[in-house]
Amino acid sequence: MGNGKETREPGEELMQKIVSLCKRRGFVFQSSEIYGGLKSAYDYGPLGVELKRNLMNEWWRDVVHSRENVMGLESSIIMHPEVWRASGHVAGFSDPLVDCKLSKERFRTDKAGPVEVQSDGRLVIRAPDKAAAKLWAEAVKTQHAPGARVETRDKDVVLHTKSVAPPAEGRPGKIVLAGFDGGPDVEIPYRGYVTPDFNCPFLSEERTFNLMFRSFLGSVDPLAEVVDVFVANKDKSKLELRALIEAALAKSTVYLRPETAQGMFVQFLNCLNAVSMKIPFGIAQMGKAFRNEVTVEHFTFRSCEFEQMEIEFFCEPGTDDQWLEYWKNERMRWWRQYANNPDKFVFRRHAKAELAHYAKDCYDIEYEYPWGFGELEGIANRTDYDLKKHAEASGQHLVYTDSARNDPATGKPPLRFTPYVIEPSGGATRGTLVYLIDAYSEETRRDAKGEPVVRTVLKLHPRLAPIKVGVFPLVKKDGMPEKAREIVEEFFRAGINSRYDEQHAIGRRYARHDEAGTPYCITVDGQTIQDDTVTIRDRDTTAQERIKVDEALSVVQARLGKI
Ligand code: ATP
């Protein structure tokens, strides 16, 4: 810092290395990079698209193709706008937002922490540099807390607190600041949080911001509608005008889905009737979701366009607790089985106060990212809330009738109920990032001269690895390229993604495939031409074995089959 050298957190440094590898090897690119990039949008390159698809295919195989009681669905991204009104997304899917009056930073209040006050009562607002500290101190003195004792020390603005009381039991919170030169104390409002990073308590009012992307369907020109309303109502207040414009646009407004889940609730009856499932059963869907996130952060961790893998599992009320337990364990098993460091995946049960009002219980599967623990998947008991809401709004009977318990001989009425729902809802793009982080490793070895050489390896699980086998001719002559291409063809025919590579020395080819996460490399050399054997190199151990050419496919198939 003071010596001009940049110092970085170890986690941040690791992320920079991963981001750079992603670009170098073609996993993830910034969207529209040649135009300066689009904030928070990412493209999956030749290797990234394979990795993400492999992950999603593994999920589908595990939750749909390995279970008799889960069926798949692909619903549309743009749905009837009533879906989002009934689900509560139009009214409530919003983040509370606030602006910092000093830094002008906009942040989510639910992500901000309490004020830090030192043991001697000093409240230090951390400005980015000395000049900013001076300006901020001036603004505090003249606008935000006139009369308070304010000093600057290097990049810090220092205030002196006499007491700090967060809001409690309906009472607003406040911070009492010491007055300038022994003058009277100055009270400022305190809502229990400050600007992250700066520790600034001077904040704007909270506002909410809907996270759904809005668009317009049909041949309407929304701007023309807005202009018409405006021209006809010039005398109205801003608030009234807004309501009139909203009403005029309502007939054509549609939303990009912010989650895949609602598609499964609204197709519940169709799925049930088409496949005659017996309860308990699930509907699974994976695909794109869109949220106009206020803060986008940590590479692809939180982006505006992302992919989800969700299951709605319908069960009889009373059995919901045990199904929540079942799915929470199933999902943890699934995430951990592809990981090098399974201990980095943990459960976090939501505290009662944190639960959505309709949820009975919820566990997050969290991962220890380089910047700390964060969500990867949520497994919630959503009760019968969603089906009942859609039944109410659509007028359809979204209920389950148990025909097995509908025996006329007993005289009992058929058993009909609104199922409870257990929802495991995970991120596919976030999961892809998790496995990239989990796989990234650097090994330092000594070369022939004793110099340290760093080997970067992506230790991706073979089933997730974009390329399963690299096939190389040792040199570009003596029939080696032809033989290597024959082997590649054989892998292609078996549906195994393999790549022929003859560029550069063999060591560089191995290094390239280590970074791509290719678990096996097969090399055709002089001996192959004599005895029909090749070497197969293991990415993680770098050990090489000689195997028969005609066994290469079955050896790789056997190793790929293992989970
Ligand atoms: P967070 O607390 O991280 O904002 P959330 O609780 O809003 O997540 P859910 O609505 O439960 O997330 O969505 C389920 C899953 O979808 C999350 O666990 C995450 O893996 C993924 N997800 C949600 N929002 C995003 C996003 N903006 N970018 C990438 N993945 C996301």
Q: Cα torsion at 473, 475, 480, 482 (round to 10°)?
A: 80
312 vs 102 pLDDT, higher one:
312
Dist. CA 23 → ligand 1 center (Å)? 24
Give pLDDT, residue 11: 87
Final residue before a domain boundary, out of 436, 457, 486 = 436
- Residue 107 falls inside a structural domain: yes
What is the average pLDDT score of the chain? 92
**304 and 378 fall within a common domain:** yes
Cβ atoms of 422 and 324 within 8 Å: the answer is yes
Query: What is the tens place of the pLDDT at every residue in 61-73?
Result: 999 999 999 999 9
The residue contributing the CA closest to ligand 1 atom 11 is 378
Confidence of residue 497 (pLDDT cuts 50, 70, 90): very high
**323 and 340 fall within a common domain:** yes
- Residue 3 falls inside a structural domain: no
Mean pLDDT check: name the lowest of 2-16, 40-54, 229-243: 2-16
- The edge-to-edge listing of strands for the beta sheet with 207-210 is 106-108, 94-99, 207-210
Dist. CA 268 → ligand 1 center (Å)? 23
- Residue 51 falls inside a structural domain: yes
Helix H or strand E encompassing 133: helix 130-139
Ramachandran region, residue 179 (left: φ > 0; alpha: ψ -120 to 50; beta: rest): beta
The residue contributing the CA closest to ligand 1 atom 16 is 427
Position 522 pLDDT exceeds 50 = yes
Final residue before a domain boundary, out of 436, 456, 491 = 436
Locus of tokens 């009369």: 147
Cβ atoms of 425 and 261 within 8 Å: the answer is yes
Helix H or strand E encompassing 559: helix 552-561
Confidence of residue 563 (pLDDT cuts 50, 70, 90): low
- Residue 53 falls inside a structural domain: yes
* Nearest alpha-carbon partner for 335 in 365, 375, 311: 365
The Cα–Cα gap between 498 and 355 comes to 46
The residue contributing the CA closest to ligand 1 atom 19 is 427
Residues 6+ apart with CB under 8 A from 404: 278
Give pLDDT, residue 7: 47
| Amino acid code (one letter) for 311 | I
Judge if the beta carbon of residue 331 lies within 6 A of ligand 1.
no
**509 and 414 fall within a common domain:** no
Where residue 284 sits, what CATH number does that domain have? 3.30.930.10
Judge if the beta carbon of residue 262 lies within 6 A of ligand 1.
no
Give pLDDT, residue 4: 36
Query: What is the tens place of the pLDDT at every residue in 392-451?
Result: 999 999 999 987 776 666 666 678 999 999 999 999 999 999 999 999 999 998 888 999
- Residue 448 falls inside a structural domain: no
- Residue 461 falls inside a structural domain: no
Task: Give residue 556's domain range.
Answer: 467-560
**414 and 338 fall within a common domain:** yes
Locus of tokens 């986008």: 296
Where residue 495 sits, what CATH number does that domain have? 3.40.50.800
Dist. CA 390 → ligand 1 center (Å)? 23
**423 and 323 fall within a common domain:** yes
The residue contributing the CA closest to ligand 1 atom 26 is 302
Dist. CA 535 → ligand 1 center (Å)? 44
The Cα–Cα gap between 192 and 249 comes to 38
Position 379 pLDDT exceeds 90 = yes
Position 204 pLDDT exceeds 90 = no
CA atoms within 13 A on the CB side of 65: 7
The residue-averaged pLDDT of 100-122 equals 89
Judge if the beta carbon of residue 361 lies within 6 A of ligand 1.
no
What is the count of structural domains for the chain? 4
- Residue 36 falls inside a structural domain: yes
Burial (CB count within 10 angstroms: exposed 0-12, middle 13-18, buried 19+), residue 135:
middle
Query: pLDDT exceeding 70 applies to what percent of the chain?
Result: 96
**Helices and strands, number each (H, E), in the chain:** 16, 28
Q: Cα torsion at 226, 231, 237, 243 (round to 10°)?
A: -30
Burial (CB count within 10 angstroms: exposed 0-12, middle 13-18, buried 19+), residue 132:
middle
The Cα–Cα gap between 148 and 151 comes to 10
CA 293 to ligand 1: nearest atom:
27
**231 and 266 fall within a common domain:** no
DSSP 415-475: EEEPPEEEEEEEEHHHHHHHHHHHHEEEEEEE-TTS-EEEEEEE---TTT-S-SEEEEESS
The residue contributing the CA closest to ligand 1 atom 27 is 302
Position 540 pLDDT exceeds 70 = yes
From residue 425, alpha-carbon distances to 92, 258, 306, 487 in Å are: 19, 13, 13, 41
Residues 6+ apart with CB under 8 A from 386: 87, 261, 262, 265, 312, 358, 421
Query: What is the tens place of the pLDDT at every residue in 147-163?
Result: 999 999 999 999 999 99
Q: Are strands 420-427 and 469-473 parallel, antiparallel or unpaired?
A: unpaired
The Cα–Cα gap between 272 and 285 comes to 15
**87 and 126 fall within a common domain:** no
Mean pLDDT check: name the lowest of 8-17, 35-44, 131-140, 194-203: 8-17
Query: What is the tens place of the pLDDT at every residue in 225-251?
Result: 999 999 999 999 888 998 899 899 988
Query: What is the tens place of the pLDDT at every residue in 452-462?
Result: 989 999 999 99
**495 and 404 fall within a common domain:** no
The Cα–Cα gap between 424 and 335 comes to 12
**489 and 541 fall within a common domain:** yes
Final residue before a domain boundary, out of 395, 417, 436 = 436
**370 and 312 fall within a common domain:** yes
Cβ atoms of 194 and 114 within 8 Å: the answer is yes
Q: Cα torsion at 306, 31, 440, 341 (round to 10°)?
A: -10
The Cα–Cα gap between 34 and 531 comes to 51
**58 and 189 fall within a common domain:** no
Locus of tokens 């390329």: 467
Coil/strand/helix, residue 349: strand
Give pLDDT, residue 219: 85
| Amino acid code (one letter) for 456 | T
Query: What is the tens place of the pLDDT at every residue in 323-368?
Result: 999 999 999 999 999 999 999 999 999 988 778 878 999 999 999 9
Dist. CA 424 → ligand 1 center (Å)? 12
With both helix axes pointing from N to C terminus, report the angle between 506-516 and 10-25 in degrees, rounded to the nearest 10: 120
Give pLDDT, residue 3: 37
The Cα–Cα gap between 264 and 282 comes to 9
**397 and 422 fall within a common domain:** yes
- Residue 449 falls inside a structural domain: no
